Amino acid sequence: MNWKRKDLLDIRDLSKEEMLFILDTAESFKDISKREIKKVPTLRGKTVITLFYEPSTRTRTSFEIAAKRLSADTINISANTSSATKGESLKDTARNLESMRPDAIVIRHSMPGAPHMLARILDSSIINGGDGSHEHPTQALLDLFTIREKKGRTDGLKIVMVGDIAHSRVARSNIFSLKNFGNEVICCGPPTMIPPHIETLGVHVEYDLEKAVRNADVIMMLRIQKERGGTKYIPSTKEYSTLYGLTKKHVDRAADDVIVMHPGPMNRGIEIMDEVADGPSSVILDQVENGVAVRMAILYLLIGGEP
């Protein structure tokens, strides 16, 4: 297929074909990171800006490494060092950056729709690096890539998501992609963290973690979103940990070849115990590794010109 999009804003918009095309493209890039010289000239002369209004370790580093391995120049801007603290609006910041003619802008923002706003006003390719509680499309794609790598398929799986579904952009993006591929998705968490009407997305809700994980092929753990008021929805993190912290006992109830995923950063001892995070089912570091390949693919497809 031919890639036609200027921006990557949300998973809800993408077809299965588009997602698979990104995954296939990522396969061919995964190799590069294993070579001694981890660089190809594909995006030489292109400029990628990462504009992060929220803290990030993985996503920003991952994008920067992805861009650099494709020989693009990268500039990182984070809100605390930019004009945001001087009161410049997002729109003005973006237009100023655009004047310096970048090819792509990766934006992370605490407010849903911020990347969409930039996409409307800028000619550069906009990549959503996470917008509030809305979406985190590159995370969902690297998760899908990891699932395909470990399970050999992207459909017909029983997938359990555990945690603050309501405030998680990772959950939203993953629900959209995984339901699109026809998987069974079960959302598990305290009822205060499950958004109303979520069944309309075709997912099942199970408040009891022990029941939810039974025969699961994939367990996706989510972090409590403290910065989005996540702790208001539970009496204490201790109680949360007792009810929803993933232990080896839970993993044992799942399918024999279950994989445990986490988008990071992990709160060890709260939503996930060490024995699981570092256990044989964990693919958490594979997710991080695959993130680079998937982001290389996305950058290549958006700003790499004709394939």
Site residues for another protein per CB under 8 A: 12, 89-91, 109, 111-114, 116-117, 131-135, 167, 169, 172, 195-198, 200-201
Q: Cβ 112 to another protein, closest distance in Å?
A: 5
Give 46 or 167: the residue with its C-beta nearer to another protein. Answer: 167
Give 100 or 121: the residue with its C-beta nearer to another protein. Answer: 121
Q: Cβ 224 to another protein, closest distance in Å?
A: 16
Hey, is 306 helix, strand or coil? coil
The DSSP secondary structure of 38-84, one letter per residue, reads: ---STTTT-EEEEEESS--SHHHHHHHHHHHHTT-EEEEEETTTSGG
Q: 162-183 b/e with 16+ CB inside 10 Å = b?
A: bbbbbbbbbbbbbbbbbebbeb
Q: Cβ 134 to another protein, closest distance in Å?
A: 3
Give the separation between CA 272 and CA 222, rounded to whole angstroms.
9
Q: Cβ 176 to another protein, closest distance in Å?
A: 9
Give 94 or 141: the residue with its C-beta nearer to another protein. Answer: 94
Give the separation between CA 165 and CA 179, rounded to whole angstroms.
15
Reported residue count of the chain is 307
Give 130 or 245: the residue with its C-beta nearer to another protein. Answer: 130
Give 111 or 266: the residue with its C-beta nearer to another protein. Answer: 111
Hey, is 128 helix, strand or coil? strand
Q: Cβ 262 to another protein, closest distance in Å?
A: 20
DSSP assigned state of 208: -
DSSP assigned state of 198: G
Q: Cβ 49 to another protein, closest distance in Å?
A: 18
Give the separation between CA 299 and CA 295, rounded to whole angstroms.
6
Q: 19-51 b/e with 16+ CB inside 10 Å = b?
A: bbbbbebbeebbebeeeeeeebebbeebbbbbb
Give 109 or 148: the residue with its C-beta nearer to another protein. Answer: 109
